[in-house]
Amino acid sequence: MSFRLRLKYYLVHELNYANKKADELIGSGKLKMGGKIISENIIIGDEDEIKLGEKILKQKIKFEYYALNKPAGIESTFNKKVKNNLSSVFPFGDSFFVAGRLDKYSEGLLLISNDGKWVNGISNSCSNKEKEYEVEVEKIMDEHFLEKMSEGVDIGFYKTKPCEIKKMSEKKCAIILTEGKNKQIKRMCKKLGNRVTSLKRIRIDKFYLTELQGSTFKEVII
């Protein structure tokens, strides 16, 4: 996950140097970051490489960003204790985080990265990032249903923000949210007397599911 720490804190708490030794190293002129000598207790982050002579004390982290087409039946987590977790479709280890989770039985676009700060920015509802879905329901959608969905629905613990909704057929619509509460669309539909039979996310912000061109996942440029 992205971090910003004081160099001394990193030396003491991550590399187990004694406080006195950390102070000595910082003042010795032997530590370098990006080829430049470190002479004070600077703030460092994921993107910084710290060297003591030719020895690397801290590797520079290469941030990676992926779009994934999650199938139905897969949980949006890398927790190995959870059956059918994302590791089965995205085998890149434990250092990645998910932006925009989907419930187990929904499918479509997830964004995955080892850049925790970026993931939080995409996921946080305060960022107002658009998330677009194709949704099929059990009963025919009338004008009352469409109007109430667009205005926002009291789902018991929260009233959802207004959203965009466009009818595609009698039982299918496109919905654009700027938030993402747990099972939000399913809860909204249930509250209005309908049931979601299929839900697919096709877009998060500027990233589209169609860009995957049928592949399970691919690296993207942010």
Complete domains list, the chain, with CATH: 4-58 (3.10.290.10), 62-127+209-222 (3.30.70.580), 130-204 (3.30.70.1560)
Residue 94 has pLDDT above 50, yes or no: yes
| Residue with more model confidence, 4 or 149 | 149
Residue range 70-74: mean pLDDT, rounded = 95
Which among 72, 58, 77 is positioned nearest to 15, based on CA atoms?
Answer: 58
Residue range 166-171: mean pLDDT, rounded = 98
Residue range 8-34: mean pLDDT, rounded = 94
Farthest CA pair distance, the chain: 74
pLDDT averaged over every residue in the chain: 93
Residue 1 has pLDDT above 50, yes or no: no
By mean pLDDT, which of 15-24, 84-93, 149-158 is the weakest? 84-93
197 φ, ψ to 5°?
Answer: -105, -20
- Give the model's pLDDT for residue 2: 55
Residue range 116-122: mean pLDDT, rounded = 89
- Give the model's pLDDT for residue 67: 96
Bridge partners (DSSP) listed for residue 174: 134, 166
In angstroms, rounded to a whole number, what is the distance separating the alpha carbons of residues 30 and 24? Answer: 10
- Give the model's pLDDT for residue 211: 85
- Give the model's pLDDT for residue 97: 92
- Give the model's pLDDT for residue 143: 96
Residue range 58-71: mean pLDDT, rounded = 92
| Region of residue 93 (phi > 0: left; psi between -120 and 50: alpha; otherwise: beta) | left
- Give the model's pLDDT for residue 126: 83
Bridge partners (DSSP) listed for residue 217: 68
CB 89 within 8 A of CB 216: yes
In angstroms, rounded to a whole number, what is the distance separating the alpha carbons of residues 109 and 71? Answer: 9
